[in-house]
Amino acid sequence: MIILGFESSCDETGVALVSTEKGLLAHALHTQIAMHQAYGGVVPELASRDHIRRVLPLTRQALGQAGMTLDDVDAIAYTAGPGLAGALLVGASVAQSLAWARGLPAIAIHHLEGHLLSPLLADPRPDFPFVALLVSGGHTQLMRVDGVGSYELLGETLDDAAGEAFDKTAKLMGLGYPGGPALSRLAEQGDAGRYDLPRPMLHSQDLDFSFSGLKTAVLTRIKTLEKAHGSLPDGERAHLAAATEAAIVDVLAAKSLKALKQTGLKRLVVAGGVGANRHLRERLQQALRRLDGRAYFPPLDLCTDNGAMIAYAAACRVNAGLADLEDTRHAFTVRP
Ligand code: KG4
Ligand code: ZN
């Protein structure tokens, strides 16, 4: 079965073709980063309009890459949520219109399930069960994953997501959008030991996270530095970036290891945009090697939002018998 998948939940338009037997066949992506940069963050209205502009050319591109036409497609998948309402509606409308016009099933996919299963697109791919650390701009969760559709939430952030912590502290430091990659690049030139930033909930017994205090701590340091120097000196900005990255990575790594200990599992899968962070990857790879386990990551280009993960999650659901291929209501809802 060939599935055409659409992702449009935020600032990336993604279209992909996945075979339920052969896996990923093609994916085309357009990122709106350059468009939103001038505003320091995603402007929802602009995002929706750009998805409309891009979605059909990208669909042609993905079909062309795979050497296919719409006649080869057996089902349509799309991100049903969570995300920006107007942006989601573009992907959902295109997917459901195509499905209706061609008499195909439309499969609604939860955006986080797309991220969660994306490491299965990498080589080597993890076997079930595993612990998943889901770290995106909107979510920070630890899950126990026993199979497709079998997810147990072990812990999550009580306030900001890890990606949000990167983005918001980066903004305070006057770095561009998106903050995660910018802060991480600057951190390479800094010394993480120069500033002692809090690691919220590092030692709490549960598997929850909290990042909003970190933002306040960074703001306090910036204000003190600005008072002393008139503005934030470049060298201190780099040290602060390194210290912030270290604090976030420390907490994510510690809680992931705690989750592995609690579940007795030795496979850790990291997904979502923050999974592209080099320090986080290296730290977890080392820690898992010491435990005689293994850390798995999606291919780097599939860490942030993309259509491949949505089409692939739909293929996983079809293969597991969890997709309702007879459902023609095509409701704009997110499965619980
Ligand atoms: O998964 P994603 O593309 O979108 C959401 O579903 O939210 O994640 C985007 C988030 C942003 O907060 C971005 O700053 C962060 O991932 N991010 C990074 C890196 N690359 C992307 N954070 C830290 N280091 C990176 N290299
Ligand atoms: Zn995402």
pLDDT of residue 177 exceeding 90, the answer is: no
7 shares a domain with 22 = yes
Q: For the whole model, what pTM was predicted?
A: 0.92
pLDDT of residue 199 exceeding 60, the answer is: yes
What 3-state class would DSSP assign to 137? coil
149 shares a domain with 7 = no
Average pLDDT over residues 7-32: 98
Tell whether residue 40 is among the known ligand binding residues: no
Output the DSSP codes for 43-105.
-HHHHHHHHHHHHHHHHHHHHHHHT--GGG--EEEEEEESS-HHHHHHHHHHHHHHHHHHT--
| Residues that place a CB less than 5 A from ion ligand 2 | 136, 305
Ligand 1 lining (C-beta closer than 6 Å): 10, 136-138, 163, 166-167, 178-181, 184, 272-274, 276-277, 304-305
Closest CA to 320 of 102, 115, 128, 92: 128
% of the chain with per-residue pLDDT over 70: 97
The interface predicted TM-score of the complex, written ipTM, equals 0.98
pLDDT of residue 230 exceeding 70, the answer is: yes
111 shares a domain with 162 = no
286 shares a domain with 179 = yes
Contact 61, 15 (CB under 8 A): yes
Which residue segment(s) compose the domain that 145 sits in? 126-297
270 shares a domain with 139 = yes
pLDDT at 333: 45
pLDDT at 327: 60
Task: Tell me the CATH number at 53.
Answer: 3.30.420.40
167 shares a domain with 91 = no
272 shares a domain with 149 = yes
pLDDT of residue 335 exceeding 70, the answer is: no
Q: Ligand 1: which atom is nearest the Cα of residue 304?
A: 3
Which residue type is seen at 219? L
- Per-residue pLDDT of 130-140, as tens digits, reads 999 999 999 99
- Number of domains the chain contains: 2
Tell whether residue 131 is among the known ligand binding residues: no
Number of alpha carbons in the 13 Å side-chain half-sphere of residue 117: 24
